[in-house]
C-alpha cells in the first residue's frame, strides 16, 4: 500500500506521524492476513486497527491545528494561513469572462454577468 501526504507538514505535526506510520504498517500486515485467511476474526481485527489509525490521524490533526490557532491568535495573517491549510483552500480564483444565457445570448460585461447569476439564483 502506498501512502501520500498532502500539503506541508510542520514539526509539531510530525511528532505523531511516526506513531501513525507504525500503526499503518501493522494494518497492512493484518489486511494481508485477512485477505489470505478470509476469516471474520482477522477481518474484525483489521477494522479495529484501521479505525484506531483513523482516530489517531484525526486527533493528531486536531491537536496540531488547535495549537497553531492558539499560537497565532494575535497574528491574523498567520492565523488565516493556518485556517486555509486546515480547510485545504487554495488562493486560486477563477474569473468568469463570459456566460451563455437564454436564447444563445452571451454576456461578457462583469455587471451583466453578475446580474445574470443573480437572476438565475433568484429563480431557483
Q: What digits encode the pLDDT tens for the residues 32-82?
A: 888 888 888 888 888 888 898 889 888 888 888 888 888 888 888 888 888
Q: Where are the beta strands (DSSP E) in 15-113?
A: 99-101, 105-107
Q: How far is CA 121 from CA 39, 46, 115, in A?
A: 54, 47, 10
What is the spatial distance between Cα 56 and Cα 15, in angstroms, rounded to a whole number? 12
Strand ranges for the chain from DSSP E = 99-101, 105-107
pTM: 0.52
pLDDT of residue 1 exceeding 50: no
Do 115 and 94 contact (CB within 8 A), yes or no? Answer: no
Percent of the chain past pLDDT 90, that is, above it, reads 2
The C-alpha cell at 122 is 433568484
**Whether pLDDT at 2 is above 50:** no
> H/E element holding 56?
helix 40-71
| 58-68 CB burial, b ≥16 within 10 A, e <16 | eebeeebeeeb
Amino acid at each position: 500500500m502506498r501512502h501520500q501526504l498532502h500539503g506541508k507538514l510542520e514539526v509539531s505535526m510530525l511528532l505523531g506521524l511516526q506513531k501513525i506510520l507504525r500503526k499503518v504498517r501493522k494494518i497492512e500486515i493484518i489486511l494481508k492476513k485477512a485477505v489470505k485467511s478470509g476469516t471474520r476474526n482477522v477481518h474484525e481485527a483489521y477494522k479495529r486497527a484501521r479505525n484506531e489509525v483513523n482516530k489517531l490521524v484525526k486527533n493528531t490533526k486536531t491537536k496540531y491545528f488547535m495549537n497553531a490557532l492558539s499560537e497565532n491568535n494575535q497574528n491574523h495573517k498567520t492565523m488565516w494561513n493556518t485556517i486555509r491549510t486546515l480547510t485545504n483552500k487554495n488562493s486560486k480564483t477563477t474569473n468568469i469572462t463570459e456566460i451563455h444565457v437564454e436564447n444563445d445570448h452571451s454576456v461578457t460585461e462583469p455587471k451583466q454577468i453578475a446580474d445574470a447569476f443573480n437572476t438565475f439564483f433568484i429563480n431557483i
